[in-house]
Amino acid sequence: MERESLQQDQEWVESIVKKDQLNRFNLTNTDAPFNYFESFPEKMNKRIQLENNKPKNSILKIIFLNPYAKIAVAATFILILGGTYLYNTPSTKKAVSEQISLQEIPNEEIINYVNNNESIAEIDLDLVINKENASLENLEEIEIQNIQKAIIQ
Amino acid sequence: MSSDQELIIQFQQSINKEAVFTQLVQKHQQKVYYQIKRMVLNHADADDIAQLVWIKVWNKLDGFKMESEFSTWIFRIAYNETLNFIQKQKKQGGKLSNDDLNTYENASGSSDEPKSTEIQIALDSAIKQLPEKQRIVFMLRYFDNYDYEKIAGIMGTTVGGAKANFHQAVKKIEKFVKKL
pLDDT tens-digit readout, A17-59? 888 888 888 888 888 899 999 999 999 999 988 887 776 666 6
A149 confidence band (pLDDT: 50, 70, 90): confident
In the three-class reduction of DSSP (H, G, I as helix; E, B as strand; rest coil), residue A17 is classed as coil
pLDDT tens-digit readout, B116-134? 677 778 788 888 889 989 9
What confidence score (pLDDT) does residue B23 get?
A: 92
Chain A nearest-CA residue for B169: A13
Residue A24 to residue B120, Cβ atoms within 8 A = yes
CA gap B146, A16 in Å, rounded: 20
- B86-120 residues labelled b (16+ CB within 10 A) or e (exposed): beeeeeeeeeeeeeeeeebbeebeeeeeeebbebb
CA gap B146, B124 in Å, rounded: 21
CA gap A36, B37 in Å, rounded: 13
Q: Is the pLDDT reported for residue B92 higher than 70?
A: yes
Query: What proportions of chain A, in percent to the nearest 5, are helix, strand and coil?
Result: 80, 0, 20
Residue A21 to residue B123, Cβ atoms within 8 A = yes
Chain A residue numbers touching B123 (CB-CB < 8 A): 17, 21-22, 25
pLDDT tens-digit readout, A98-110? 666 667 777 888 7
B102 touches chain A (CB under 8 A): no
Please give the biggest Cα pair distance in chain B.
60
Chain A residue numbers touching B103 (CB-CB < 8 A): 28
Residue B34 to residue A30, Cβ atoms within 8 A = yes
pLDDT greater at residue B119 or residue A64: B119
CA gap A52, B143 in Å, rounded: 37
The answer to whether B104 and B124 have CB atoms below 8 angstroms apart is yes
What confidence score (pLDDT) does residue B101 get?
A: 39
CA gap A44, B52 in Å, rounded: 10
Its pTM stands at 0.63
Residue type, A141: E
